[in-house]
Amino acid sequence: MKLLAIESSCDETSAAVMVDGVLKSNIISTQLIHTEWGGVVPELASRAHQKSIIPVVTEALQKANINKNELNAIAFTRGPGLLGALLIGTSFAKSLALSLNIPLIEVNHMQAHVLAHFIEDPKPTFPFLCLTVSGGHTQLVWVKSALDMEVIGETQDDAVGEAFDKTAKLIGLPYPGGPLIDKLAKEGNPDRFPFSLGEMPGLNFSFSGIKTAILYFLQKEVKNNPNFIEENKADICASVQKSLIDMLLRKTKKAMKEMNCTQIAIAGGVSANSGLRSRLTEMGSELGWEVFIPAFSYCTDNAGMIAMAGHFKAEAGEFCRQDVSPLARYELAAKPLA
């Protein structure tokens, strides 16, 4: 099975080639134009995808030493994501598959983030729990098999990645701010400024309250000292990061106990955060968990994870028709615990 995969859900245009479950190439073109606007602009993202998709696909095929006529199927991100961006990848995949007379495989972007763990060793065994954290999602996913996943807890408002980015904006860091907070946090005191974490029922999350608390805190301190942020930037970053990670790990620990599970994985863009990675590893060591953390290249949006999901779906014979359309909202099967 020689599979081409395409990812275009947000601001990365990516293509990958997988042969019999082995990733041969994974090309990612990141759109830098959004930096000057302080966030992703959907229309600009769509235009950038249009410019990049052919060169990116061409490079992925060349690096894998595969001719397009050798392909057996094309996998693509159907959703969730920005509709205009998804439309570029979906339309390209449909057109190429039609011209080559090969089948299509539609992939849920969030399912693919979880399955990124199966690209390289070590790999978890089913079932396991996955904490999926990104700019748009915060979910606890019970992974029964590659194609059977259940969301048992999720954010009821903002995602944790958004909380990182909004905090970065408040303290004057450029977009994307999450990685910059992580970098500065290493130099700061995480216990300097405590924030109230709040509580949600069950295994659900809420990050809107802590975002507001951070805003009011900064406004109060800046009123007393206009140079407060610049003088305390590292400590602010460390304190915010600690609070957000506390919120994630508190629910993760509860979910692991409820599911009687000993395997925990993290996925999504925020799984690249060094604070989260180290603290989850520490917690796993203390509680006897097996902890699975993806390589940095598979944390952010990439076509390699789409290829991995496509591989599992191809093995199961799950192909889609040419009349498939992208979905801005595309939920995993959700049945929250009582």
Which tens digits make up the pLDDT trace of 79-132? 999 999 999 999 999 999 999 999 999 999 999 999 999 999 999 999 999 999
Tell me 331's DSSP state.
P
Q: Which of 229, 300, 288 is nearest to 264 (CA)?
A: 288
Residue 137's pLDDT band, with cuts at 50, 70 and 90, is: confident
Per-residue pLDDT tens over the stretch 174-191: 878 889 999 999 999 999
Whole-number Å distance between alpha carbons of 178 and 166: 9
Instruction: Determine the pLDDT at residue 334.
Output: 38
Comparing C-alpha atoms, which of 264, 269, 253 is closest to residue 293?
264
The C-alpha torsion from 162 through 167 and 173 to 174, rounded to 10°, is: 20
DSSP H/E element including 195: none
Residue 84 near residue 42, CB atoms below 8 Å: yes
Instruction: Specify the pLDDT at position 201.
Output: 87
More confident residue, 203 or 48: 203
Q: Would you call 40 exposed, middle or buried from its count of C-beta atoms within 10 A (0-12, 13-18, 19+)?
A: middle
State residue 35's pLDDT score: 65
Residue 222 is inside which H or E element, if any? Answer: helix 208-224
Sheet holding 290-292, edge to edge: 148-154, 138-145, 128-133, 263-267, 290-292
Cβ within 8 Å of residue 277, ≥6 positions away: 266, 271, 293
Of 13-17, 60-64, 298-302, least confident by mean pLDDT is 298-302
Residue with tokens 């019970």: 142
- Examine the pLDDT at 333 and tell me if it is beyond 70: no
Q: Which of these ranges, 197-211, 282-296, 297-311, has the smallest mean pLDDT?
A: 197-211
Indicate if the pLDDT at residue 31 is higher than 70.
no
Q: By the 8 A CB rule, do 270 and 296 touch?
A: no
What is the torsional sign of CA 122, 123, 127, 128? positive
The CA–CA distances, whole Å, from 63 to 27, 118, 308 equal: 9, 21, 18
pLDDT over 70 percentage in the chain: 95
Distance CA 171, CA 312 (A): 43
Task: Quick: pLDDT tens for 204-215.
Answer: 999 989 999 999
Angle, nearest 10°, between helix axes 274-287 and 178-185? 60
pLDDT band at 33 (very low <50, low <70, confident <90, very high): low
CA–CA distance, 292 with 88 (Å, rounded to integer): 33
Q: Which two tokens stand for residue 96?
A: 């190429």
Confidence at residue 338, expressed as pLDDT on a 0 to 100 scale: 31
- In terms of average pLDDT, the best of 159-163, 164-168, 234-238, 296-300 is 234-238
pLDDT: is 141 or 38 the higher one? 141
Q: What is the DSSP letter of 288?
A: T
Whole-number pLDDT of residue 218: 96
- Bridge partner residues of 266 (DSSP): 131
The predicted structure's pLDDT at residue 288: 97
The pLDDT-based confidence of 46 (bands split at 50, 70, 90) is confident
Average pLDDT along the chain: 92
Model pLDDT, residue 36 = 62
Residue length, the chain? Answer: 338
What mean pLDDT do residues 141-163 have?
Answer: 94
